Amino acid sequence: MPHPYYSICLLEFVAQFRGMRAAEILSVNGYPLDAYSLQRNLKDQAIFLGAIVKGISSFPALYGLQEPPPGPWSKKDYKAVLKQRKEEEVAIFRQMIGTDSGLGESRIEELRKWNELFHMQVHGARLSKAGEVFAC
């Protein structure tokens, strides 16, 4: 019997590979920091899939659908699903690369610094802007 989430998992992998290709194209065509921005999502998605494989989470939980609202969704239902999804993502990060991961404090700190660099580029292109200042 096939796994009930096979198609969802396959779509996740297809999206990952397309994202990797997009990042590669940007990088080799002179836009390495824009490629870096795309890699943040790839990193996050890899962590989410790892949490599912490890049994820490599931596809329904990751999508905020452990208990999907019945029938057509209201605005309140949509907000509840979004809230559940965000809470699940935070829990996954904490268990996979954070305080509950079992990683040493120095590793957690190193991962936190990498996340900060991703955040700086994704939100405001701060690394790209700094590169432009130093290129002049």
For residue 107, tell me if it sits in a domain. yes
Which pLDDT score is estimated for 14?
A: 96
For residue 1, tell me if it sits in a domain. no
Which pLDDT score is estimated for 124?
A: 73
How many domains is the chain partitioned into structurally? 1
Residue 65 CB contacts under 8 Å (≥ 6 apart), including other chains? 81, 84
CA distance 76 to 38: 31
Domain coverage including residue 124: 6-135
The three-point CA angle 14-15-21 to 5° equals 90
pLDDT, mean of residues 66-70: 75
Does residue 127 contact residue 33 with C-beta atoms inside 8 Å?
yes
Residue 45 CB contacts under 8 Å (≥ 6 apart), including other chains? 12, 15, 16, 19
Which pLDDT score is estimated for 4?
A: 85
Which pLDDT score is estimated for 117?
A: 84
Joined tokens for residue 123: 């939100």
For residue 96, tell me if it sits in a domain. yes
